[in-house]
Chain A
Amino acid sequence: MSQEITIIVLIDIQAALDANTLDGNIYLIDNLRTDGSTGVGTGDLTTIINGSYWCNGAQATEVITNWLTTGIGSLPLTLPRDFYIKRTAEINNELLNDIKTSAATVLTKIESGTFINDLNGHKRALGIKPLTVTGDYFDSHTDDPSSLSYLTPIITNISGEAVDKGVLYTCQLGTPVYIKDGWYWCATADTSKVGIYSYTLHVTLFKPVNNTYEPVQMTYDAKIKVTSNPQVNGFTKAGMGILPL
C-alpha cells in the first residue's frame, strides 16, 4: 500500500539509563506489519519498503519514512507542547497559595526548577518544574523517584549502511504538529537498491541528576528491507490499452 511510513521509537528510559545502552530497552513499531515488516514491537524491526518502477526504470512510488520517539515514563505525546510550561505556572500558583501555611518549604519548591546540561557542559535553565507522569509537581525529597516523568528522547541523527549506500536520504524537519515536539526525522528511499540494509538511530536520552538533566547519547541499529517491482496497467495488467467501456 502506498502510504507514509511511521516508525515509533519507544524507549524504556529508566532502564536504558541504568544499563547505559538501548539494547533490550527499545521497542520499534511501524505501520506496515501487514505489508511485510518483521519484528514489529521488538528491538529487531525490519521495515518493509515496497518500491516500484516505470518501464523506463525510473522510480514510481514515493516512499517517505518518519521516526517518532517516545519514552515509557514520559508524558504522553498527545499533550500539547506547552504542557510543561502551563503546569509549571499552575503549580507555582498553587504553591503561592500555600505560603500562608508554611513559608519556608514552599519557597524552596517555588524556586526549584530544572536545568539541562548541553554537550559542552553549559547549564541552562529549562524554566519548567519536574513533573510526575500524571502531571503533578515532583518533589525530589518526598516523592518516589520512579514517578518522575522523563523528558522525551530526541533523535539527533540517522546514519549507517542505508544512508552510506544512498538508500535512505534523511533530513530533520521542523513541524508545528504537537506530538512531534517541534522536530522529527524523515527519510525518502531510493527503491532501486533492493535488499536489506541496516541504519543507526542516534538518540539522546536525558538523565535527571538532582534537578539537572544530563544528556546521554546512545545509538541503536534497525533495518529496512527494500523491494521493487514494475508498475503495470491496472486494466490490461500489461501496457497501455483501450478502456473496457
Chain B
Amino acid sequence: MQSKININISVDSVEALSKKTLTDNIFVMDNSSFGSQGQGTATLATACAPGQEIHWVATAIDLQTPVCIQNICFLPDALPAVTVATGTDDSTTAVEETEDSKAEQPAELMSQLDLYTWTGYLPYCMVPAKPYRYQLVLQIGNGKNSVLAIDTLSLIWE
C-alpha cells in the first residue's frame, strides 16, 4: 500500500472567476493505487485506507493566475447529496441547506495562503465503504468574488 496519495486540483482560474463557480472549472486527479472513481472531474472519490497520508495541491492551468487552497473541511453526514459551488456575494445559484448543515459559506479573503501545506493522515477510526465528503475552498486572487467553494469531492476506504 502506498504511504502517500497526492490529489492534484487543476483550476481554470479565468473561467472560475468569470462564471463565479468552480463547477466545470476544476479537474481533480489523484495517484491512488486503489483506482479512484471520477478522475479528472470535480466528483473525484479518492480511494484510500487508514494510515495513509493525503496531500492536496492546487495548480492553475494558466500559470500566471493565482490559485490557493483556502480551506479543506470535512462535511458532517447530515448534508444532502446535492451540492453547488457559490461565491461570496449574493449569487444566483442556490444552496440547499438542511437544519444540520454546517458547511459554512466561505467569507473573507486570507493572505499568504501559499504558506499552507494541505496534508494529513487518515485516522484508524475511518469506516469502510463510506464516502467522507469535504468542502474545498479556493481563493483565486484578492477580489470580491475570489473565494469559491465546491463540495462534490470525497475520500473513501473501499
Contact A234 B66 (CB under 8 A): no
Residues of chain B with a CB closer than 8 A to A4's CB: 63-64
Contact stretch, chosen from A90-98, A123-131, A235-243: A235-243
Contact A245 B142 (CB under 8 A): no
Looking across the interface, which residue of chain B has its beta carbon closest to that of A64?
Answer: B63
| A35 in contact (CB, < 8 A) | yes
Q: CA separation between A5 and B66, bound complex, in Å?
A: 10
Contact B122 A243 (CB under 8 A): yes
**Which residues between 120 and 162 of chain A lie within 8 Å of chain B, taking CB atoms?**
none
Looking across the interface, which residue of chain B has its beta carbon closest to that of A228?
Answer: B115
Contact A242 B68 (CB under 8 A): no
Q: CA separation between A142 and B78, bound complex, in Å?
A: 79
**Which residues between 56 and 77 of chain B lie within 8 Å of chain A, taking CB atoms?**
60, 63-69, 71-74
Chain A nearest CB, measured from B55 CB (Å): 10
Residues of chain A with a CB closer than 8 A to B117's CB: 231-234
Residues of chain A with a CB closer than 8 A to B116's CB: 231-234
Contact B118 A234 (CB under 8 A): yes
Residues of chain A with a CB closer than 8 A to B120's CB: 233, 235-236, 240-244
Q: CA separation between A52 and B125, bound complex, in Å?
A: 34
Chain A nearest CB, measured from B3 CB (Å): 13
On B, residues with C-beta under 8 Å from A are 53-54, 60, 63-69, 71-74, 112-123, 125-126, 132, 139, 141-142, 155
